[in-house]
A = this chain, B = another copy of it.
C-alpha cells in the first residue's frame, strides 16, 4: 500500500558520513547534504530527524567501521603486539589513500564541537573511549601471552597508543609527503615492538 522508498537509507548515511568527515559539522550545510544525498530537505528530515541527529548517526557508523577495521587487522596476527604494530603501519599509508580526511573523524569532532553540540560531543568521547578500551584489551592480551614484562601497565600503554594514533592521524592531515607519514608510523610501530620481551 505504501509508496516504495526511493533512497537507500544506509547509502544516504554513507554519503553523509563522507561529507561530515571531510568538512566537519559546522562547515557542512544542509545545502551540501541536499546535493550529496540528492534529497530535498523534507526527505532528509523525515529520514534522520535533524542535522545533528544525522551527524551523530554518521559518527557512530564511522566508529563502528573503524573498530571493525582495527579488530580485523589485529585478528590477522597471533601476537597482540605485532597486531598493534601492523595497525600503526596501516595508518602510515593514510596519505596514499583517497579519503574524505586523513584525520580521525572522532578527533575532528572532539576538537570542533562545543557545548551547543553536547550530544554529538559526548558520543565522540564515548567512541574514543571504546577505541582506547580496545587498545588496553590488546595490551592485556599481550601481557597474558608473556609478550610484556610483568610490571607493564596495559592501561597506560593503551592510553599512550591512543594518543599516538591521534597524533599520527593529525600529523597526516598536514601537507607533508607520504614518506614522512610512513616513517612516523614506522617509528611508532617500532616502539610497540620494542616492548616485546626478547
Contact = CB atoms under 8 A, between A and B. Distances in A.
Contacts of A114: 22-24, 27
Contacts of A159: 171, 180, 183-184, 187
Nearest to A25: B26
A193 interface: no
Nearest to A160: B187
B156 A183 contact: yes
A163 B184 contact: yes
How many copies of this chain are found per oligomer? 2
B112 A27 contact: yes
A58 interface: no
A111 B167 contact: no
Nearest to A186: B156
Contacts of A180: 159
A27 B170 CA distance: 21
Contacts of A101: 111
Contacts of A149: none
A103 interface: yes
